[in-house]
A = this chain, B = another copy of it.
Amino acid sequence: MPHYDLVIIGTGSGNSILDQRFADRKVAIVEKGVFGGTCLNVGCIPTKMFVHTADVAATPATSARLGVDETLDGVRWREIRDRIFGRIDPIAAGGREYRLEHADNANVTVYEGEGRFTGHKELTVRLPDDSETLTADEFVLAAGGRAVVPDIPGLDEVGYHTSDTVMRIDELPSRLVILGSGFIAAEFAHVFASFGVEVTMIARSGALLRVEDDDISRRYTELAAERFDVRLNRKTTRARRTATGIVLEMEGPGGAETAEGDLLLVATGRRPNSDLLDVAKTGVTTLPTGHVAVDEHQRTSVPGIYALGDISSPHELKHVANHEARVVQHNLLHPDDPIVADHRFIPHAVFTSPQIASVGLTEQDAAARGVPYVTATQDYAGIAYGWAMEDTTSFAKLLADPSTGQLIGAHIIGPQAPTLIQPLVQAMSFGLDARSMARGQYWIHPAMPELIENALLNLPLDA
Interfacial residues, chain A to chain B (CB-CB below 8 A): 39, 44-45, 48-49, 51-53, 56-57, 59-60, 63, 66-77, 79-80, 83, 87, 317-320, 322-323, 345-349, 357, 359, 384-385, 387-390, 416, 418-423, 425-427, 429-430, 432, 436-437, 440-449, 452
**For residue A319, which residues in chain B have a CB less than 8 angstroms away from its CB?**
442-445
* A75-B67, A440-B430 known; A452-B389 Cβ under 8 A: no
How many copies of this chain are found per oligomer? 2
Q: Which of A70, A317, A420 has the most CB of B within 10 A?
A: A70
Ordered by A's residue number, 12 sampled pairs between the chains whose C-beta atoms are within 8 Å are: A44-B446, A49-B388, A52-B388, A68-B76, A69-B72, A83-B390, A419-B419, A419-B420, A422-B447, A426-B441, A429-B440, A429-B441
Q: Which of A45, A67, A390, A425 has the most CB of B within 10 A?
A: A67
* A419-B447, A426-B423, A442-B346 known; A67-B79 Cβ under 8 A: yes
Decide if B68 touches A57 in the complex (CB within 8 Å): yes
A48 to chain B: closest CB distance in Å? 5
New contact pairs (20) apart from A52-B66, A319-B443, CB-CB < 8 Å: A45-B387, A48-B446, A53-B67, A57-B68, A59-B63, A59-B70, A68-B80, A69-B73, A70-B70, A70-B73, A71-B71, A71-B73, A345-B441, A346-B442, A349-B447, A418-B444, A418-B448, A422-B449, A426-B437, A426-B441
A409 to chain B: closest CB distance in Å? 15
Q: Which residue of B lies closest to A389 (CB)?
A: B52
A212 to chain B: closest CB distance in Å? 14
* A52-B389, A349-B447 known; A83-B67 Cβ under 8 A: yes
Q: Which of A71, A390, A423, A442 has the most CB of B within 10 A?
A: A442
Decide if A445 touches B59 in the complex (CB within 8 Å): no
Decide if A56 touches B71 in the complex (CB within 8 Å): no
Decide if A56 touches B63 in the complex (CB within 8 Å): yes
Decide if A385 touches B448 in the complex (CB within 8 Å): no
A7 to chain B: closest CB distance in Å? 26
Q: Which residue of B lies closest to A416 (CB)?
A: B419
**For residue A87, which residues in chain B have a CB less than 8 angstroms away from its CB?**
387
* A423-B426, A430-B440 known; A66-B56 Cβ under 8 A: yes
Q: Which secondary structure dominates chain A's binding surface? A: helix
* A59-B59, A388-B51, A426-B437 known; A442-B345 Cβ under 8 A: yes
Decide if A80 touches B66 in the complex (CB within 8 Å): yes
Contact of A430 among B60, B384, B441 (CB under 8 A): B441
Decide if B385 touches A48 in the complex (CB within 8 Å): yes
A314 to chain B: closest CB distance in Å? 15
Q: Which residue of B lies closest to A65 (CB)?
A: B83
CA distance A317 to B445 in the complex (A): 8
Decide if A68 touches B63 in the complex (CB within 8 Å): no
* A53-B68, A59-B56 known; A44-B445 Cβ under 8 A: yes
Q: Which of A39, A59, A359, A447 has the most CB of B within 10 A?
A: A447
CA distance A277 to B73 in the complex (A): 57
Decide if A72 touches B68 in the complex (CB within 8 Å): yes
* A68-B72, A437-B426 known; A347-B442 Cβ under 8 A: yes
**For residue A387, which residues in chain B have a CB less than 8 angstroms away from its CB?**
45, 49, 87
Decide if B45 touches A384 in the complex (CB within 8 Å): yes
Enumerate the 9 nearest inter-chain pairs by beta-carbon distance, A residue then B residue, closest first: A418-B447, A429-B441, A67-B80, A52-B388, A69-B73, A319-B445, A67-B79, A422-B449, A318-B445
CA distance A345 to B349 in the complex (A): 29
